[in-house]
Structure 1
């Protein structure tokens, strides 16, 4: 049996306390009902579980009891999939085709329902108390036969419509941007490691170890390493390696697990060829937390040895280099990066952990680099006032450079910073240095493409090249698709931007950037009803993010509904009295009312004083109204933005 909380990542980004409460309730119900029905929970992973039973009837009865409990308030949106077959259990992990098929059935799941395989159906057919109905026959990835799937038929459960389910089946929509060529023999994807610790909250550590291995291998000139965002799109259990190879364009996959109990550590990894499933190498490493850096180095070097990668002296030194010897600071750094990768309000949580890491080890270069990036993103996405975080970002990035001048992440952060202070030469210099150090660093490609080439220079063709390169490096990253859509949108390619957003939303239906630019694309394609629907949906999903609220005002103006637009604009201004709202957004939105340009430039000048990064978009983005562009104050504002030496920041480092 596999279970999974539907939409957990989006819930976590919106309300962490609610998400943790749901996960606790999920776990409590699981433990109670498994004890009653003689089930064994083999593993917790993130917001899901894998468990086993000796009886198909007991497994189904347990699933029904759990789902009925989850349907009671407070409801937990759980998907379930069950199958039976031969498995191998080594005391820690469960393997076998039976496990793989159960995982695929769960992937079809609808929250509130229970799905079972045809084999389970045959076992329970003579139990009249358990009612089921067929929801269709599906061809799952790498499963030879077609499988008929059944759902429990119960008045209090959700009943999915037959032949309507989508999951890990053979039919997948393809996009030319994500089509990979035959992979190089020297290519690898590092999947998220399974958290085998008793505490499911230790997932940040497992993810962090895998990401550190990715970063170490990325420094090797002759090895193509799939990006973190794409590799981590795959689950931690029963992964279809051929699917990984096809989607990421790699010939080998590293997978494994981490068990952390107190100061004791066990990391198990295996390197597998994608085409035939042959295990090239596997190893188990035991040690204390103090050994974590040495263990990561051993793994990286063992991989390079097995893959016969030519190691230059410089590359080898990068693999073996430890960024800190303070294990407590290292764990805080991993927590910070874990929350930073979640985006949304989690960025503020990331800042807290990264600051603590720096306080424990002021010479921890990577922590400084991530702290700089987290502060920049908090300012860019309107989470914190930029004139309070930009200075911190610059100071921490410069500290990281002094400690370790070879980190591509630091130069990328500085490139973004200098864009936001309108210093073009320094911005380009730092972006190019980041790409020189690591041409495979996707964030540098998209940020250089959008912030510098598109928004600051208007060089859209070149910007698109970097956007496509980022997608090639991170073919499963909705963020890369979202930023590429921004580049296309700035270049007035609204149809292409819309298609790019739709592809990104296939990867992550909750992607803020893709949803936002889907709406903008509809808006400038003059499909106003579609745009309005997008922004109304995103207003609720994003808790009225100021970017979305401003876009809603623009849409209502374009539709001629000026009364409703004025109401929403007044609401946005009222919110700014009680919470941080991006002033530039208010100014841009007010520009579409065409009745008070003094008000428009009041807010744009205030955005200038606050040093809002969104001002970078004013020159080339299409959301600036013609009336605003025609006003002499618009050109004067752009000219002021070319005087970086006059800028001052608030706050202390």
Structure 2
């Protein structure tokens, strides 16, 4: 009887529901970007709309994307965001579990063994500091490699395994690390780290920090859909704020100064609206960063605006990103900036600028693999952002991946042929590749478009330097 009822129900569903359906717990979990156990808990405690087919002995589940989206909006409206639900599930034991396998030393040498133990120990400490509420780290000691490690979480619960080896590469130590998803046996991330003998005192800590940063970005806070800030706002204030962001995106003197005025208008219309304070801080920071106005003149006001945004809405990602950027570029407080960038991503893992700006700090520290992951997350969220494409190029350039950098710059120029920063950075990458004529052409274009910007005009000196070997070569061949 129940089978006939299900069949008749399915026959009257509109045709579009076929593409709207999620036909298993796994599909539902994938759609929500969560573990199966999490969505099952949400069904029981949060009312996640899941339907069931009942057969003679077995039952199967399905859901509709439209109903899931509506549920997600309702939960967000009543409970600030799904992040609260995620915190609740974390407190009941929902965690990502990583088993760290012994670091296998491929060279029989006591000194190398000791160095490998240091790397493994420091990596364990860094991983455990990441997010203990959501991440369980199971260290497997070399002595117990033949038997399951004694832990509070069974080995079968480990969703990921960190597999790594150490070997000699000339006079350097080479560590090859790989994160494997246990159920699928698919490598989610891999990288090779090298440490010269002269750097062995600091290498274990540096390698441990880079591995933990990469795992954090790849696993713990992946981009996902979260609700925007929901509060009543004056229409005039919101309109002024959006206009400010439009001009801010242009990244030139005229646009940034217009953005400042629109953000001030939004603050005047609604002094309790946090986003315009963030926009004002971002605009002032860029006016300083691009050397349009002196930092000493405007950065105190940028800090004040960023702090006010955080005070008005402590869970606003944009506010923490603004404060982090002030700390990075003006205060030179890298530790404080890192804390605020991480808070940004925690508040809204779908805020692309949080990953974008965090990549700046990671690249400045020389953590190029983590910086690459961060900027790629930003591009995944907003693949047509001109400045993010450009900064993906800068990140590759700093890692000396010049071909990749050039590809990103040219992608940006396809969307915005007159974007000055794409031309300027493309010129630098082409110069590194030895394409002096093309580099000069891009420098000239950047200088023409710069309209007197100090950052770009400084490139005239590099342009003159490039001209000298070209003229000598032309005089010999002419």
TM-score for both structures, normalised by structure 1: 0.38
Residues 477-532 of structure 1, C-alpha deviation per residue, up to 9 Å, x if partnerless? 22111001111111122222112211222222222222111101011222222111
Instruction: Report what 1:291 is aligned to.
Output: none
Matches within 5 A, 1:447-458: 447-450=357-360, 452-455=361-364, 457-458=365-366
**Which residue number in structure 2 is paired with residue 360 of structure 1?**
269
Q: Residue by residue, what CA displacement relative to the aligned partner does 1:351-392 show, whole Å, maximum 9, x if unpaired? A: 012112223332221111111111112211222222222111
- Pair 1:310-2:72 in alignment: yes
Q: CA deviation at 1:467?
A: 1.4
- Residues 336 and 352 in structure 1, CA contact (< 8 A), matched pair in contact too: yes
Q: How do 1:173-192 and structure 2 match up within 5 A?
A: none
The structure-2 alpha-carbon separation of the partners of 1:497 and 1:320, relative to structure 1 and needing over 3 Å to count, comes to closer
Asked if the contact 1:366–1:400 (Cα under 8 Å) also holds between the matched residues in 2, the reply is: yes
With over 3 angstroms needed to count, the CA separation of the structure-2 counterparts of 1:515 and 1:185, relative to structure 1, is farther
How far residue 442 of structure 1 moved from its aligned partner, in angstroms, is 1.1
After superposition, where does 1:150-299 map in structure 2 within 5 Å? none
CA–CA distance in structure 2, aligned partners of residues 558 and 389 of structure 1: 35
Alignment partner, residue 176 of structure 2: none
Q: Which moved more, 1:518-527 or 1:331-340?
A: 331-340
Equivalent pair of 1:375/1:390 in contact (CA under 8 Å) = yes
- Kept in 2: contact 1:379–1:385 (CA 8 A): yes
Give the CA deviation at 1:222: 6.7
In structure 2, stretches of 5+ residues that fail to align are: 1-18, 23-29, 34-64, 81-226, 472-478
Whole-Å Cα distance in 1 between the matches of residues 275 and 431 of structure 2? 41
User: 5 Å matches for 1:52-63?
Assistant: none
Shift of 1:335: 2.6
State TM-score, norm by structure 2.
0.51
- The answer for the alignment partner of 2:333 in structure 1 is 423
Q: Does 1:446 align with 2:356?
A: yes
In 1: Cα distance, 2:300 partner to 2:335 partner: 19
Q: Give CA-to-partner distance per residue, 1:175-197, whole Å, 9 cap, x none.
A: xxxxxxxx9989xxxxxxxxxxx
How many Å apart are 1:472 and its aligned residue? 1.4
Which residue of the other structure, out of 434, 437, 442, is the alignment partner of 1:526? 434
Confirm or deny that 1:332 pairs with 2:240: yes
CA distance in 2, matches of 1:462, 1:320: 27
Counterpart of 2:91 in structure 1 is none
Is 1:517 the counterpart of 2:279 in the alignment? Answer: no
Using the alignment, how far apart are the partners of 1:491 and 1:519 within structure 2? 17
Partner of 2:305: 396
Give the Cα separation in 2 of the matches to 1:329 and 1:499.
39
The whole-number CA distance in structure 2 between the counterparts of 1:321 and 1:498 is: 36
Superposed, 1:540-551 pairs within 5 Å as: 540-551=448-459
Q: Would the aligned equivalents of 1:323 and 1:365 in 2 still touch at CA under 8 Å?
A: no
For residues 498 and 374 of structure 1, what CA distance do their matches in structure 2 show? 27
Given that 2:397 and 2:429 are in contact with CA atoms closer than 8 Å, whether structure 1 keeps it comes out as yes
Deviations 1:286-307 (A, max 9, x none): xxxxxxxxxxxxxxxxx97584
> 2:440, 2:466 within 8 Å by CA — same for their partners in 1?
no
Matching residue of 2:279: 370
User: 1:470 — aligned with what?
Assistant: 378
User: Aligned pair count?
Assistant: 267
d(CA) in 1 for partners of 2:263, 2:399: 36
Deviations 1:406-430 (A, max 9, x none): 1100111111111112101100000
